[in-house]
Structures are given as C-alpha cells and as structure tokens.
Amino acid sequence: MSLKPTSNPSRWQFLVLLLTSLSALLGVASTPVEARVQAVLIWGTDEAKPTGKNLKEVDSKLRDRLANVFKWKNYFEVNRQTATLPSSVKVQTIKLSEECSVEVKLLPENVAEVKLIGKGKAMVTRRHSLSKPDALVLAGDDKNKTAWFVVLNFN
C-alpha cells in the first residue's frame, strides 16, 4: 500500500501560522527587558518626629507631593530599597519591614504587577502601566490616626 504524499499547507493555514508567529513576536517585544524599581516605606503622622529615632523626613519634593494629596503633616522615611527587574526573573520580592514586602512582576504590554504582602498575605494586587510617569502609591490607615505609604517608582 502506498501512502499519498502530504499535501502542501493551504493559503489559509499559512496565514494563520503567520499571524500567530507575528502576535507571539509582538508579545515578546512588548515585555520590557529590564526595569528598575525603587520602593520607599513612609510613615505619615501629624505628630512631630519621635525623639531618639533614626527616622528622616522624606525629601521636600516627595513630601510636597504627598501633602498635596493626603492630609498628614509629616512624612518620615522608614526604609528604601531599589531592585532591578530582569524580565527573565519571574517575581522580585522587596522586603521593607518585618510585616511588609512587595512582590513585583513584569508583564507584557509594559505593565508591572505589584503585590503588597502584609503578614504573609496579599493585601493589594495592582497592575500598573509603566508607560505613564506615575508613581504607584500603596497606602493605608495605621494606628493612632497615622498612615503608612509604600511609594514605588519605576524606570
């Protein structure tokens, strides 16, 4: 019994193959190769700086930006970390304090996925477009009418 030779792909099959390859190529191209992220943990309060603490006020530019949006008078920097995010690394974890860390993941279409982890649990998951110059600020109520802020800047 002789086998019939396989027929050449039709014009439609070829078009589908071409489109699939093109979209896959576009997907890879739109994932940023590398990004740097700076995460700053800040404490906002109306009280003066606690004496004997190694807290420094956030720089005046950031302080003004925060004070234009939020109600607190003073903003103290608690921790600052910078990390590089190569697209090959799936998730980059940045630890900011005992209770708090952020997980950052680069996604296609110039988007970063940021997960705020508190006490081991994801508090907020936010997808943030890197095509805008916006800082991403994750914030919340703290004890005694104070607040915490995690300010993330990407470049």
Partner 1 sequence: MNTELKLQALLDGALDAREIREIEAILAQDIQSAALMQELKWMKAAVAGNEAEVKLPETREFYWSKIERGIAAEAKQAAAAPAERAWWLRFIYPATGLAAMVAVMFVVSGGRTTDGADTESVPEDVNAISFRSEAEAMSVVYVADENGTFNPVGQETKNEPEADK
Which residues contribute to the site for partner 1 (CB under 8 A)? Answer: 26, 30, 41, 43, 45, 50-53, 55, 65, 68-71, 78, 96-100, 107, 109-111, 118-119, 121-129, 131-144, 146, 148, 150
Shortest Cβ distance from residue 86 to partner 1 (Å)? 20
Distance CA 144, CA 97 (A): 19
**Which residue lies nearer to partner 1 by CB, 9 or 140?**
140
Shortest Cβ distance from residue 15 to partner 1 (Å)? 16
Q: What are φ and ψ of residue 123, in 5° steps?
A: -85, -45
Shortest Cβ distance from residue 125 to partner 1 (Å)? 5
**Which residue lies nearer to partner 1 by CB, 83 or 135?**
135
Shortest Cβ distance from residue 5 to partner 1 (Å)? 38
Distance CA 53, CA 96 (A): 17
CA 47 to chain centre: 30
Give the end-to-end CA distance of the chain in Å, rounded to a whole number. 65
Residue type, 45: T
Distance CA 100, CA 122 (A): 10
Nearest to 128 by CA among 147, 146, 150, 99: 150
**Which residue lies nearer to partner 1 by CB, 9 or 125?**
125
**Which residue lies nearer to partner 1 by CB, 5 or 52?**
52
**Which residue lies nearer to partner 1 by CB, 53 or 90?**
53
